[in-house]
Amino acid sequence: TRVRSSAASDVYKRQGKPYVWGGAGPDSFDCSGLTAWAWGHAGHFLPHSAAQQQSDTTFVPISQLQPGDLVFYGSPPHHVGIYVGNGQMIDALHSGTNVEYDSIYLEGDLTGGGRVY
């Protein structure tokens, strides 16, 4: 949908911004701060926690991901990124990295996606 596309396109603009734990933008981000920021710019509030974001979204199997969906890692989730298509996400991975493209298979504990409605 248009809103999901807006969330995905807004996150492109944050590439290169540094990872900072607790960062919620616009100049630095942690993983859930980035996804909350992107969806906030699309008009939908998400909490600043991967676990809470998973609770606030509808589960989507990896095979059905669409740009703008969230991808979660671990149980309970310790990481979240925003899916942009073709097996890729934009995320803020950890200290020492910047907001960047990564494969959704970067970490071995991918648990599924979440769709914001």
pLDDT digits (tens, 9 = 90+) for 26-56: 999 999 999 999 999 888 999 999 999 999 9
User: How far is residue 28's CA from residue 18's CA, in Å, rounded to a whole number?
Assistant: 5
Per-residue buried b or exposed e for 26-56, using 16+ beta carbons within 10 Å of the residue's own CB: eebbbbbbbbbbbbebbebebebbbbebbeb
Q: In this predicted structure, what is the pLDDT of residue 3?
A: 61
Indicate which residues carry an active-site annotation.
31, 79, 91
Q: What is the pTM of this model?
A: 0.92
| 92 contacts 30 by C-beta, under 8 angstroms | yes
**pLDDT, tens digit, for every residue of 56-102?**
999 999 999 999 999 999 999 999 999 999 999 999 999 999 999 99
